[in-house]
Amino acid sequence: MSEPDKQRISVTAHLTAAARAYESQRPDHLFDDPWAALLASREGFSILEKGEDKGGSIIVRTRYFDEWLQRLTHEEGLRQIVLPAAGLDTRAFRLDWPEQTCLYEIDLPAVMDYKESRLQAYQAQPRCKRFVLATDLFSAAWESQLVAAGLNPAQPSVWLVEGLFFYIPLEQTQQLLERLSRLAAPGSWLGFDAIHSAMLSSPLTSSRIQLTRKNGAPWIGAIDDPVALLASFGWQASFVPNVRKGYEYGRAIFPFIPPDALTSETEKLYHMLVTAKRVGGGEQEIRLVSR
């Protein structure tokens, strides 16, 4: 990954932390992240203030994947969690994890060094077994580092890739999916957020797309059919438009279309919250259950 690309991704980590800090201050917050305000930079809060919905997409996806992770660990019994492009995520510190849960965070050295220094300054203690891998997902042999840190590829694992794929070309997304799929045993789960190409060209979202460019972190990577894409790597996937979850949670997401006016076409103007299960024995049954 080039240095400008690394800088761009780092900026988005601060934006995400700012959005989580903003939500945590609400009396009716969807989650409580006490560390987010300590991690988010002034630049992160500045970018957040420019958005029409004050990080609505980030807030909704955070709650959605919080629930997803807790269900998979507490109800399904999975104990290996991997966060590629973890950024300034603090789930290791703020969520309730079952005993023996191992959580692996992977991100660029500059991001992880900053994060570790801030968390250590405030004596933050993880609520699970936490492992930090400071490396580049796109150039380093992070797979061997992950296994050396303790990940058992023979056992099911959970992979959560938040806020990454729409910042990088589809080719890089495919490369990362291929690499992580090699480490995911049957029964593993994968979650991520993605955008449709319609979002990049619609007049209804043009102001948001322009804002991402001004912020130095343009959205460029679209996945129009995540179900088919993931099937090619051996995953059975489904997705839900984040606007639907936003209305369920009581959070509006830009562009502000009333729920009764949403259609299959206008839903393409919002992030997709994608979840997928790794299938075994060559079975790649596709089931779209969220529309």
Positions in the chain whose pLDDT score sits under 50: 3, 6, 281-291
CATH superfamily to which 3-278 belongs: Vaccinia Virus protein VP39 (3.40.50.150)
What percent of the chain is helix, strand and coil (3-state, nearest 5)? 45, 15, 40
Q: Are strands 189-194 and 80-84 parallel, antiparallel or unpaired?
A: unpaired
- Taking phi over 0 as left and psi of -120 to 50 as alpha, with beta for the rest, 129 belongs to beta
Cis previous bond, 255, omega within 30: yes
d(CA 23, CA 128): 24
Strand partners, 33: none
Residue 8 has a pLDDT of 54
Q: Residue 55 in contact with residue 26, Cβ under 8 Å?
A: no
DSSP sequence for 205-219: THHHHHHHHHTT---
How far CA 167 is from CA of 124, 131, 212, 219, in Å, comes to 30, 25, 10, 5
Residue 146 has a pLDDT of 98
Q: CA nearest 61: which of 211, 263, 270?
A: 270
Task: Give the domain ranges of the chain.
Answer: 3-278
pTM listed for this prediction: 0.93
Residue 10 has a pLDDT of 75
Q: List pLDDT tens digits, range 239-262.
A: 999 999 999 999 999 999 999 999
Q: List pLDDT tens digits, range 179-210.
A: 999 999 999 999 999 999 999 999 999 999 99
